[in-house]
Structure 1
């Protein structure tokens, strides 16, 4: 029963995404829909990533190893800079904190919506699985051709409110990069490597 419910939800979301990308999806739009279905069914992922958080007058960059789970606890282990390597962030749906030698330190917001670096990966994964796809295009990057999907509120124009850009490998469908912006200003960037999906939600 649970699996049947997940399939129904998946079908409805894919239909909405198809409308967002312009009806009869072909090319980049169809690839985006295929990837959307996979990410919607995904339980989580593992990856290494570089996170750049822009606080305006302060910009921080971290290297992290990630074990993300849609349900339950996600774990982020900082790998750089060396001064804070080994710090572990544990994040659940109700919030998260940093842990180091038993000390827990809350992370600060990046924008008025309360977005913090701790929230970035879960936010990107939600957009990948459920966000309104406003634009779907193929782009040439250093690593070759990639799929770019831009998600935003359907009532907003480009540069208004929160917007998410996602770049995917067109062959493996791995998430390569994600950016979150607020009113046209990029507040956080995540560059992924060795992205590996974990399971499928709803499987018995």
Structure 2
């Protein structure tokens, strides 16, 4: 498992916790993060590392740092939410190569997850701890014409720093994201 956690209880007012998390991420001006992404799509498991820069007032950017064969490829993510998402690799827009299910690929997962943290009401919130760090776990579920998407994201209870996330399509885990480093800007 991506993150070994010990269930420590459910407690708290989940509606209030959800509102506080949404407010934090809506007001967040920016951050820089180094991510490790494990993608399990179409019987192919791939691991990537990415430097990601979120900027509330402008486009998000990313640079692939691993695997070595892709290192240095950069991209820009434009749009204000998941519905207006536009991906460009080094200036080239990939309109015809957009994923069939937005938010479930290494290129668009974090952008769409941030959109959920800013705007969506979690279906479930609970607390866990690992290594002495208390975490909030938030679960998001969406039923659409193309199936069910579920996302679980763990953030620190103090400061709401993202730690990791797991994304599921129709009950099958397709992505794991581990935040290796994070700094708000």
Matched, 1:113 2:104: no
Q: 1:95 aligns with which of 86, 105, 108?
A: 86
The Cα offsets for residues 101-140 of structure 1, whole Å up to 9 and x where unpaired, read as x8x484662xx42443221111110111111211110123
RMSD: 2.6
4+ aligned runs moved over 6 Å, structure 1: none
Contact 1:50 1:64 in 2 (8 A): yes
Equivalence for 1:38: 24
* Structure 1 gap ranges (5+): 1-25, 199-204
Q: 1:175 aligns with which of 133, 152, 162?
A: 162
Higher Rg of the two aligned structures: 1
Scaled by the length of structure 1, the TM-score of the pair is 0.69
Equivalence for 2:141: 152
Give the number of the structure whose residues are more often helix, by fraction: 1
Which SS does the other structure have where 1:34 is aligned? Answer: helix
* Structure 2 gap ranges (5+): 1-10, 80-84
Spell out the pairing of 1:1-204 with structure 2 (5 A cutoff).
27=12, 29=14, 30-93=16-79, 94-99=85-90, 104=92, 106=94, 109=99, 112-115=100-103, 116-142=105-131, 144-153=133-142, 161-198=148-185
Contact 1:63 1:81 in 2 (8 A): yes
Scaled by the length of structure 2, the TM-score of the pair is 0.76
| Structure 1 residue 163 displacement after superposition | 1.5
Give the number of the structure whose residues are more often strand, by fraction: 2
What is the alpha-carbon distance in structure 1 between the residues aligned to residue 150 and residue 57 of structure 2?
24
What is the alpha-carbon distance in structure 2 between the residues aligned to residue 78 and residue 28 of structure 1?
39
